[in-house]
Amino acid sequence: MRIAAYNVENLFDRARVFNDDSGSHQQVLDAHAEINTLFEKPVYSEADKARMLELLSMLGMLNDNEGPFVRLRKIRGQLIRRPRDRSKPREIKAAGREDWIGWVELKTETVDATAILLTARVIFDAGADVLAMIEAESRPVLKTFQEIMARKLNLPETYAHVMLIDGNDQRGIDVGLATRAGFPIGRVRSHADDRRPDGNAIFSRDCPEYEVTTPSGATIMVLANHFKSKFGGNDPTSRARRLGQAQAVAGYYRRLRDEGFEHIVVLGDLNDTPDSAELAPLLASDLRDVSEHPNFTEFAFNANNGQRGIGTYALGNDDDKIDYLLLSPALFDRVTGGEFSARAHGPGRARRAGRSMRS
């Protein structure tokens, strides 16, 4: 049996702002998140309205519902009054959430066809029986992707079972699971609604628990993850989010052990390095990284100096290790080998890595 994880970085459609080279990525994402949060307030104060106008201006939507990277979706009511005379000020007309229904959404654009094909080659070449896919749009997209790519690559077999639960990220970057025939997905448990003490969601996406049965009848619990990114800066808020996520996943792992499950894998993009304080609650448990196994082979290539490294992102430097495949002791003891591989997605896309293990 082979278990693997791969960050697909969206298969068919990706938020347009991620493909922009102007350096405005984080500003747009932050403004998008902030204005949608303001929209949910039951009553808009004058300060709220002033900030909404600032954010709409930053997003290029002060005079129109269409900005370069986002659009304002209005279902009912009116949010903003825009006089035809552009010399006159714009104003927020809605007094609160009850006055209108709408939101700001990120525009998407089609992923380069070459990048899609390269992603398919990496995924199917890995030959995993159980595959976690990070930053995938939806279950229908995963199904369509493998059907189309199977024809293009003349594959004799694809994944019989595919599951993905929509998480908390509005950009369509969720975590899903695909398994081959003979490895059915059973119980699925979402943690998208788990909350921090302040009432906000713990997970930027989700940490779904997937119950997989092997042909021998054994049960493996798979916890797929995509922690809060450092993209745009590693500020205290970002670090606190990852710390809370690591603590939560460590708690889920302990619960599963207490429930009698012996074969557990925590895998995916944890967006931090092994020496970080943020991942310590998870890495300090008895979970073991598959790369610690003596039969694990590193295939990463550092483009800077021609040396092999343990990094799983960008140039493969040792401090670029952010993707993990963590195993419970009973599962680690069954490992016979594993590998790390990296490919370029294609034009304009960063290199991402896949980790796999076999038992």
In whole angstroms, give the CA distance from residue 86 to residue 46.
Answer: 22
Average pLDDT over residues 192-201: 92
Average pLDDT over residues 326-331: 96
pLDDT value for 107: 83
Average pLDDT over residues 307-331: 68
Cα–Cα distance list, 345 to 7, 142, 171, 269 (Å):
10, 17, 19, 17
Average pLDDT over residues 279-306: 77
Candidates 3.40.1170.60, 3.60.10.10, 3.30.360.10, 3.40.50.2300; CATH matching 2-12+110-358: 3.60.10.10
Q: Dump pLDDT digits (tens) for 64-91.
A: 999 999 999 999 999 999 998 888 999 9
pLDDT value for 122: 79
Contacting residues for 327 by C-beta, under 8 A, at least 6 apart: 264, 265, 287, 288, 289, 290, 335, 357
Contacting residues for 127 by C-beta, under 8 A, at least 6 apart: 2
Q: Label residue 311 by pLDDT band (50, 70, 90).
A: very low
In whole angstroms, give the CA distance from residue 54 to residue 31.
Answer: 9
pLDDT value for 266: 97
Average pLDDT over residues 225-252: 88
pLDDT value for 259: 97
pLDDT value for 141: 83
Most confident of 83-87, 276-280, 307-311: 276-280
The three-state secondary structure class of 304 is coil
In the chain, list all ranges with CATH 3.60.10.10.
2-12+110-358
| pTM greater than 0.85 (yes/no) | no
Quick one: what percent of the chain has pLDDT higher than 90?
50
More confident residue, 312 or 142: 142
Residue 142 CB-half CA count within 13 A: 30
pLDDT value for 342: 54
pLDDT value for 119: 77
Q: Label residue 232 by pLDDT band (50, 70, 90).
A: low
Q: Minimal CA–CA distance to 207: which of 265, 235, 249, 255? A: 249
